[in-house]
Structure 1
């Protein structure tokens, strides 16, 4: 009897071994769930929509509301249920330039929302550095902000997910600000996730916020990490990159006519890298470039990329991969945990958010014309000028506004009313105004610096200031100084002029480096305060139509 039982146990053991050996040869399926450019949009907002063609009438389009953490969490949860081998990732700008519900509490609400959603990794983007590296480290590690605003529950524990920053290094030590990569293992197969921001980050954020940091080349950084990952048995490699491209027809699951930095980067990345999840341009695309799956999921949580990988457990290489950009529609059940979090923060911010500040005569759009001007940009520049025109407040004659600082249209209700929350959505950075003296030559120089980067950054200008630029002229020679006028008079190259900008621009942000050389610098009010004051002082504010910038050719 004992012998018979012993033989039975041996038979069972051999069978289990054979079964396990068989399992080791089966392909491993892994699901990646990706977002990018969330920007603290935890609340479902009316303005976040996706446009599609009306199937009943191709000449018409349909706008579908998307996004909101309550719905995004449900979409993510449903995708997770399809495969227990899953990872939720973000390609940067998770925080920064956020709506009031998150920004007022230093984006702690977004971190809490993402903790509850189950985010695993977030590659830092440029907006993660809006308030400096020390504040970003607080987002990861926790602790209350020095101004005591935040910590709604008396404490802030920080992110449960990992920030990644492979190409962000301390200038002195060469160490990365956050880990360069993380590894996840599924059924014995390892996947490496490298996280990076664009190498040009230092030029598009406040210099003080990135002081002491170096931003390295994306391709060089990722390629150097490949051998290190392979030594650890990693052959499946995913890059989370806060840099992107633009397509021609905006089809969410294609890359027709794609251009921009992402194309060159993907073409130069090591062949061992399988997937590039990108962002920064707020576009939706999905295709293969250089045999790599390259994706981007729109913006503000309005879309999620569903990526499926099949991996050979022996070679540990990807044998099959596919992706699908899915609209985060609001026809699913709200996630109750997210609803509870959002309601908690809405109670704190709503009284301030819903306060009516004044009226405007029509919608103020941030859509730019051929010359690079926007209606809303004109209004903001005028508001800044008014706030600093008095001699005691700066004596400004001219005001400039960077286009990237204008984050949303300003659309009044049926009675023309606009709220403080709307103003905050337009200008969420909390910048202060700075007045300085520049010569006419310096003004000309800073205007030329609008074309110093891959994407032109045409400043919005205040009433009374005008100039002409020629797109066919070389960079550095696009503006004829004789065309620059103040109140109809050509500026004097050697003359002195008082100019108002925000502190981001004053420190050389967006590549406007000549502002650093301004003299007699005087600090002013916050940008949003000047905006609110201007709206209050101009009831039923007329929409400005006169163009101030002229483009030739």
Structure 2
């Protein structure tokens, strides 16, 4: 552990999918923020970790507890990709079958060193949603099967658990049958309970302020070792930014309460019950990068410690921002393991048997290495068979060729942005949405889409073919495309809003090009200099235009308030269908599908 950073700042509350920075003071007070000690992760396996190689004699009489955590799995049953953990990079990391094997290794190693059987596996939300076809086409029930096989017993809600409404998520969580309108593919899939106890303290029904579906605000686990017994309390937290991350109809029945205030409330309740070792599992973002740890989770802990300086939260397992994080924030260890099963976090906690309090918490994040990088570790057969079965069931639909590209090169997405945060797949999606509205004869001028909804590269195989599965991996949500009336001034406002939060939220666009001030010292609301259509005609602030957006943006999603409550002219189908039809239509031309030139946003000094 190293790099201590202590700051005195106005208390900030940080919101956003990618640890965005919406600045809100807490009661106008100026407080000293908690000291932050950033962690260092250099090793690929726990057995190589100096902290974990032998029992710490200082804790020989304590109760050892291991927390194995993941976040933002997003139904990534066989998703792989590059992952950076600390200063180390690993290629082609991931898949749940290998994740299962590494979790078992980590648990076995913990037991051999500490002689403790106290291991809990928890997930910090977004286990489902925005997923590949082998999860999506089976309503994510295949992911529930995988979580159960990996022995995850505790989870909390993320924003994607609301994608099809909380009732549907609860159905797949508990293994209930779908209704009669469900696809035959889904009806024929075995429906089983996940075995995951869902805990969420800050989501309540508006009508009665009760937590829905009998979910509990916390869970208490009894742990034993050295002829001693202690209790561990685990509090579940949803991000309070949920209303900006899902459709209104999906969250309208619920209030999402302040995270820090809720943690303080249940920390007090647990301590009154004699539980003095407390863990928070929260779908709130955080990132450790270049000796700095920041984000929503840090702000929450700062506020929590203002509200309740004597709180006993020793570990905070975070999610949502898809980043690596490992740091001590005040007395609390904070950790996040990137996303889609490419990594996991491994926390070793020690509890004093007399006081019931944590005496030490140490966390590390480890990659899920590829078979090439670690051939000695074999994939878990049970989990691998779940994935194999899911693949077989959806293969006919997924492998259906819908079109061809001009080359066999992958059309890359948001992990390959250029300097202006444009990417090929994102702008292809925007082009498809503009075309869909044109076919619907709604006379659109422009199209804009949130980059967070563009979930993958567009895969092109060696024969230049693009499959249904490849297209739906890029656009998995099925959001409704709406054509809205906007003035040029509103369009300018929307484009400027990309720069409000250090571009944690940004748009992919079609039908227009704009220039903006490169310097981030310019007021975010005044970054855009000039806007033009594809013919080079200036977009005038006072003139009306028609813009294609999805219903998520129309509700002000990703904090793009410029789109909110704009007049809807008409609907143009779903974003998923728009991309599929666009690829099909392009294939019928000599042009085929080509990657757009990334020249729609132009930065100037």
| Corresponding residue for residue 398 of structure 1 | 446
Query: What is the Cα deviation at residue 131 of structure 1?
Result: 1.6
Spell out, residue by residue over 1:376-429, the C-alpha distance to the aligned partner (whole angstroms, 9 max, x if none). 222111111112113x44222211111101111224233332222111111111
| Corresponding residue for residue 429 of structure 2 | 380
1:544 and 2:593 equivalent?
A: no
Counterpart of 1:376 in 2: which secondary structure? helix
| Corresponding residue for residue 133 of structure 2 | 100
| Structure 2 gaps, min length 5 | 1-59, 306-310
Of the three residues 376, 393, 403, the one matched with 1:348 is 393
Cα contact 1:91–1:123 (8 A) shared by 2: yes
Query: What is the Cα deviation at residue 228 of structure 1?
Result: 0.3
Q: Distance in 1 between matches of 2:388 and 2:504?
A: 40
Are the structure 2 counterparts of residues 458 and 53 from structure 1 closer, same or farther at C-alpha, using a change threshold of 3 Å?
closer
* Mapping 1:175-324, distance limit 5 Å: 175-177=210-212, 178-187=215-224, 188-249=229-290, 256-270=291-305, 271-324=311-364
| Corresponding residue for residue 363 of structure 1 | 410
Cα contact 1:389–1:397 (8 A) shared by 2: no
| Corresponding residue for residue 13 of structure 2 | none
Spell out, residue by residue over 1:207-227, the C-alpha distance to the aligned partner (whole angstroms, 9 max, x if none). 221112222222111111111
Query: What is the Cα deviation at residue 92 of structure 1?
Result: 1.3
Counterpart of 2:198 in 1: which secondary structure? strand
* Mapping 1:321-332, distance limit 5 Å: 321-329=361-369, 330=371, 331=375, 332=377
Q: Distance in 2 between matches of 1:172 and 1:455?
A: 36
Q: Which stretches of structure 1, 4 residues or longer, exceed 6 Å deviation after superposition? A: none
Counterpart of 1:48 in 2: which secondary structure? strand
1:419 and 2:467 equivalent?
A: yes
Query: What is the Cα deviation at residue 548 of structure 1?
Result: 1.1
Q: Distance in 2 between matches of 1:238 and 1:449?
A: 36
Name the Cα RMSD after superposition.
2.5
Counterpart of 2:573 in 1: which secondary structure? strand
Query: What is the Cα deviation at residue 62 of structure 1?
Result: 6.8
Query: What is the Cα deviation at residue 455 of structure 1?
Result: 4.8
Are the structure 2 counterparts of residues 401 and 340 from structure 1 closer, same or farther at C-alpha, using a change threshold of 3 Å?
same
Are the structure 2 counterparts of residues 114 and 222 from structure 1 closer, same or farther at C-alpha, using a change threshold of 3 Å?
same
Query: What is the Cα deviation at residue 485 of structure 1?
Result: 4.1
Are the structure 2 counterparts of residues 449 and 546 from structure 1 closer, same or farther at C-alpha, using a change threshold of 3 Å?
closer
1:333 and 2:382 equivalent?
A: no
Q: Distance in 1 between matches of 2:146 and 2:598?
A: 44
Cα contact 2:293–2:327 (8 A) shared by 1: no
| Corresponding residue for residue 497 of structure 2 | 449
Are the structure 2 counterparts of residues 35 and 234 from structure 1 closer, same or farther at C-alpha, using a change threshold of 3 Å?
same
1:74 and 2:74 equivalent?
A: no
Spell out, residue by residue over 1:139-196, the C-alpha distance to the aligned partner (whole angstroms, 9 max, x if none). 3333233331365556524331112211212223222233211111112211011111
Counterpart of 1:334 in 2: which secondary structure? coil
1:116 and 2:149 equivalent?
A: yes
| Corresponding residue for residue 70 of structure 2 | 35
Q: Distance in 1 between matches of 2:65 and 2:523?
A: 49
Counterpart of 1:258 in 2: which secondary structure? strand
Query: What is the Cα deviation at residue 370 of structure 1?
Result: 3.0
1:135 and 2:168 equivalent?
A: yes
1:410 and 2:446 equivalent?
A: no
* TM norm structure 1: 0.86
Cα contact 2:288–2:326 (8 A) shared by 1: no
Are the structure 2 counterparts of residues 297 and 234 from structure 1 closer, same or farther at C-alpha, using a change threshold of 3 Å?
same
Are the structure 2 counterparts of residues 27 and 263 from structure 1 closer, same or farther at C-alpha, using a change threshold of 3 Å?
same
Query: What is the Cα deviation at residue 357 of structure 1?
Result: 2.2
Cα contact 2:72–2:320 (8 A) shared by 1: yes
Counterpart of 1:466 in 2: which secondary structure? strand
Are the structure 2 counterparts of residues 477 and 62 from structure 1 closer, same or farther at C-alpha, using a change threshold of 3 Å?
closer
Cα contact 2:512–2:532 (8 A) shared by 1: no
Query: What is the Cα deviation at residue 489 of structure 1?
Result: 1.3
Q: Distance in 2 between matches of 1:151 and 1:492?
A: 49
| Structure 1 gaps, min length 5 | 1-24, 55-60, 250-255
Q: Distance in 2 between matches of 1:134 and 1:452?
A: 34
| Corresponding residue for residue 167 of structure 1 | 202
Cα contact 1:432–1:526 (8 A) shared by 2: yes
Are the structure 2 counterparts of residues 65 and 166 from structure 1 closer, same or farther at C-alpha, using a change threshold of 3 Å?
same
Cα contact 1:388–1:395 (8 A) shared by 2: yes
Cα contact 1:164–1:195 (8 A) shared by 2: yes
